[in-house]
């Protein structure tokens, strides 16, 4: 008999000791969330942003078209309470579309952690976390509504919700660029880019604790991005290209190793463009 023949058992034992079958590898937190919490994550990270973007596109097409459909309410000379509430709703939907995707790492990590600690309430707590996050941006939307009406009354913003002159756009670019260099910007950006550290430091039990965590994280994100949102006035509040560009920029800034230097470089570019617009 050939002495080189090996039994199946011997063949298996000869496999490297470091080999680990895929099924034996422990799930990461994000994989755990995607495996067990698909329904709420599909709603929060797919359906809500998609429907928000659909509403923005419909509004923008009508606004730059006949203005007889979804944006007809904007053609008013009297900004009473119902019209102001509609403007606030417009900003709130826009902030949801722009900011919720960039919060996906926080939502995924929290969903997995909540399921492991309190499985029965994980779904409700995830919704509460997102509600708190969006509450911070809804508050920002109220401030943006007030700012827009103030700028419009000063004739600095047109009825089409665009900067009234290149000087206004240049000033907004310079303000946004300067903020990119501030310590507050970098502190808020650091919190936004470290969702795991944020959850470990601020964990609260229950749905009310989840709401407070979402609100706190949303406040950091507002502190990080509020100046960038001013650029919507520079390029057109309902300009889909500008909205999409800012959404992509915020996602890159918050979800990649962008860092302090990256923020400073983009800030310098904004200031340079703004100064060029003022002097040309």
Cβ atoms of 236 and 161 within 8 Å: the answer is: yes
For the stretch 58-97, pLDDT in tens is 999 998 888 888 888 888 888 999 999 999 999 999 999 9
Question: Considering the domain boundaries, does residue 274 fall inside one?
Answer: yes
Q: How many residues does the chain have?
A: 280
Question: Considering the domain boundaries, does residue 123 fall inside one?
Answer: yes
Amino acid 8: pLDDT: 41
Question: Considering the domain boundaries, does residue 9 fall inside one?
Answer: no
Q: Is it the case that residue 255 has pLDDT exceeding 90? A: no
Q: How confident is the model at residue 180 (pLDDT cuts 50, 70, 90)?
A: very high
In the block, residue with structure tokens 């755990």: 32
- Host domain of residue 247: 28-279
Look up residue 167 and give its two tokens: 């000087």
Judged by DSSP in three states, 2 sits in: coil
The mean pLDDT of the chain is 84
Question: Considering the domain boundaries, does residue 265 fall inside one?
Answer: yes
In this structure, the number of other CB atoms found within 10 A of the CB of residue 19 comes to 7
Total domains, the chain: 1
Cβ atoms of 84 and 91 within 8 Å: the answer is: no
For the stretch 100-115, pLDDT in tens is 999 988 988 888 887 7
Question: Considering the domain boundaries, does residue 195 fall inside one?
Answer: yes
C-alpha triplet 236, 240, 241: angle, nearest 5°: 90
Q: Report, as an integer, the average pLDDT of 250-277.
A: 90
Cβ atoms of 265 and 177 within 8 Å: the answer is: no
Q: Is it the case that residue 124 has pLDDT exceeding 90? A: no
Question: Considering the domain boundaries, does residue 78 fall inside one?
Answer: yes
pTM of the shown model: 0.83
For the stretch 34-50, pLDDT in tens is 555 566 677 777 888 99
Among the residue ranges 22-36, 153-167, 178-192, 239-253, the one predicted with the least confidence is 22-36
Amino acid 75: pLDDT: 83
Give CA–CA dist 92/59, Å, rounded.
14
Question: Considering the domain boundaries, does residue 8 fall inside one?
Answer: no
Cβ atoms of 203 and 213 within 8 Å: the answer is: yes
Question: Considering the domain boundaries, does residue 1 fall inside one?
Answer: no
Amino acid 35: pLDDT: 54
Amino acid 1: pLDDT: 45
Q: Report, as an integer, the average pLDDT of 184-200.
A: 92
Amino acid 39: pLDDT: 65
Q: Is it the case that residue 219 has pLDDT exceeding 60? A: yes
Kindly state the percentage of the chain with pLDDT values over 90: 54
Kindly write down the DSSP assignment for every residue of 93-156, as one continuous string.
Answer: HHHHHHHTGGGHHHHHHHHHHHHHH-GGGHHHHHHHHHHHHHHHHHHHHHHHHHHHHHHHHTTS
């Amino acid at each position: 008999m050939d002495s080189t023949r090996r039994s199946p058992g011997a063949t298996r034992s000869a496999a490297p000791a470091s080999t680990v079958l895929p099924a034996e590898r422990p799930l990461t937190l994000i994989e755990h969330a995607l495996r067990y919490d698909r329904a709420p994550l599909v709603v929060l990270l797919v359906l809500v942003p998609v429907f928000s973007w659909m509403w923005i596109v419909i509004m923008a097409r009508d606004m730059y078209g006949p203005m007889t459909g979804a944006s007809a309410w904007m053609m008013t000379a009297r900004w009473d309470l119902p019209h102001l509430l509609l403007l606030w709703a417009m900003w709130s939907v826009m902030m949801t579309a722009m900011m919720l995707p960039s919060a996906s790492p926080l939502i995924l990590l929290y969903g997995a952690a909540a399921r492991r600690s309190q499985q029965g309430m994980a779904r409700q707590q995830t919704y509460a976390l997102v509600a708190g996050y969006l509450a911070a941006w809804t508050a920002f939307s109220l401030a943006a509504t007030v700012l827009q009406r103030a700028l419009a009354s000063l004739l600095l913003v047109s009825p089409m919700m665009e900067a009234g002159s290149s000087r206004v756009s240049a000033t907004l670019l310079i303000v946004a660029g300067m903020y990119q260099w501030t310590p507050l910007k970098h502190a808020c950006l650091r919190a936004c880019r470290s969702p795991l550290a944020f959850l470990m430091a601020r964990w609260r039990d229950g749905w009310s604790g989840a709401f407070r965590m979402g609100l706190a994280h949303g406040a950091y994100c507002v502190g990080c991005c509020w100046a960038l949102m001013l650029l919507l006035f520079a390029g057109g509040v309902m300009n889909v290209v500008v909205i999409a560009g800012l959404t992509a920029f915020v996602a890159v800034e918050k979800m990649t190793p962008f860092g302090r230097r990256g923020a400073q470089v983009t800030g310098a570019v904004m200031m340079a463009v703004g100064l060029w617009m003022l002097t040309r």
